Amino acid sequence: MNNSHIQTVPLEKAYRLITHGPTVLVSANDGQDTDVMAAAWACALEFSPAKVTVVLDKSTKTRKIIENSGYFALQIPTLKQLEMVYSLGTLSLYNAPDKLEQSGVQLFKFADQEIPVVEGCAAWILCELIPEPHNQQAHDLFIGKVIAAYADDRVFRDGHWFYHEVSEEWKSIHHVAGGHFYTIGEAVTVKDTE
Amino acid sequence: MNNSHIQTVPLEKAYRLITHGPTVLVSANDGQDTDVMAAAWACALEFSPAKVTVVLDKSTKTRKIIENSGYFALQIPTLKQLEMVYSLGTLSLYNAPDKLEQSGVQLFKFADQEIPVVEGCAAWILCELIPEPHNQQAHDLFIGKVIAAYADDRVFRDGHWFYHEVSEEWKSIHHVAGGHFYTIGEAVTVKDTE
């Protein structure tokens, strides 16, 4: 094996090696405040009952609102929303009270649901927080039980993404560093499973 | 807002909405057995000290080996390795003792490291398990402290991925369902940050 190309990665940059999952928006309301933030570190946790994880830094107002309310939504934004996502990920409601207006966010609610969500996304995952004080304090790790999920059928239907059939503006965006993202790419299929 | 395209997603399919992060390979050795499995649910957890999460089902031998040894590696495979990754994700060492040979895996070790890793990947993240019995039992969630990281400088260098400059065979693969994956796509940059 030719190892001449293998270089050490500084530990503080190691996260970049797996951080290019789909960037999500996290929204919440506690009766007093509403916030939406961008998060790169969200992940599925369980099929059934459906659960997800999301890492929420202690510096974010969204985290405080979720701790107060016990509910949050993850949503999958699209390339069309790139500037909005970046703005939501860099401004903080703590020092920019008009963050949502500045970022151009339009909120709505699904019928019979109280969690505010962002218009124009490809999908929405509504969650009830499973309180886990150790994970939240020690790891900034929040676990949500999925209580409802929705998707835009132009890009997700019958349980499958159709990123390979839509225009670029519908693609998911995957944060890598600073203002740099990748879009989701081409569909590939393992032989014998086509 | 035109909501006519928004459809409910069954809860048991909700994970598919955020599962398209980079698929990883998880490798481990406990002095007796060596295994490598594919995992779609891995995520960064902390910048410094660098930590990662990975969900490991109780049915996997890799999980048992990690519980025994306290160490594991995450590695980022490439499109060139698609068939191998799929094989590692569908065969189990429990009922296919020659799983690694069948899958065509070549293992090696980095200098001064004991964890076996897979040749030909784009990057490798070596981890020490942070034992968290509750997370492991209740959520199948394993937390690793990164002890070393390496990348192939043809696709990751100076802390950045260069997926936009390499041939297709180098691209990360993002599992969606069954034998279906997406590759990572195009680089896009937020205005004013270029």
Return mean pLDDT, chain B: 95
Q: Judge whether A149 and B9 are in contact, CB under 8 Å.
A: yes
pTM for this model (two decimals): 0.95
pLDDT tier at A1 (50, 70, 90 boundaries)? low
Q: Alpha-carbon distance A134 to A107, whole Å?
A: 32
Average pLDDT over residues B160-164: 94
Q: What is the CATH number of domain A6-183?
A: 2.30.110.10
The more confidently predicted of residues A194 and B7 is B7
B193 pLDDT more than 90: no
Q: Which residues of B127-152 are buried (b: 16+ CB within 10 A; e: fewer)?
A: bbbbebeebbeebbbbbbbbbbbbbb
The more confidently predicted of residues B57 and A18 is B57
B123 pLDDT more than 90: yes
B2 pLDDT more than 70: no
Out of B20, B151, B189, closest to residue A184 by CB: B20
A66 pLDDT more than 60: yes
**pLDDT score of B60:** 97
A33 pLDDT more than 80: yes
The more confidently predicted of residues A150 and A13 is A150
Residue of A nearest to B155 (CA): A5
Q: Is B112 on the interface with A (CB under 8 A)?
A: no
* pLDDT tens-digit readout, B106-121: 999 999 999 999 999 9
3-class secondary structure for chain A?
CCCCCEEECCHHHHHHHCCCCCCEEEEEECCCCEEEEEECCEEEEECCCCEEEEECCCCCHHHHHHHHHCEEEEEECCHHHHHHHHHHHHCCCCCCCCHHHHHCCCEECCCCCCCCEECCCCEEEEEEEECCHHHHHHHCEEEEEEEEEEEECCCEECCEECHHHCCHHHCCEEEEECCEEEEEEEEEECCCCC
CB distance A190–B139 less than 8 Å? no
**Alpha-carbon separation of residue B2 from A106, A116, A125 (angstroms):** 13, 17, 19
B180 pLDDT more than 70: yes
SS3 content of chain B, % helix, strand, coil (to 5): 25, 40, 40
B131 pLDDT more than 60: yes
B179 pLDDT more than 60: yes
Q: Judge whether A107 and A117 are in contact, CB under 8 Å.
A: yes
pLDDT tier at A2 (50, 70, 90 boundaries)? low
What residues of A are in contact with residue B140 (Cβ under 8 Å)?
Answer: 45-46
Pull the structure tokens for residue A156.
């997700």
What residues of B are in contact with residue A133 (Cβ under 8 Å)?
Answer: none
Pull the structure tokens for residue A61.
């107002």
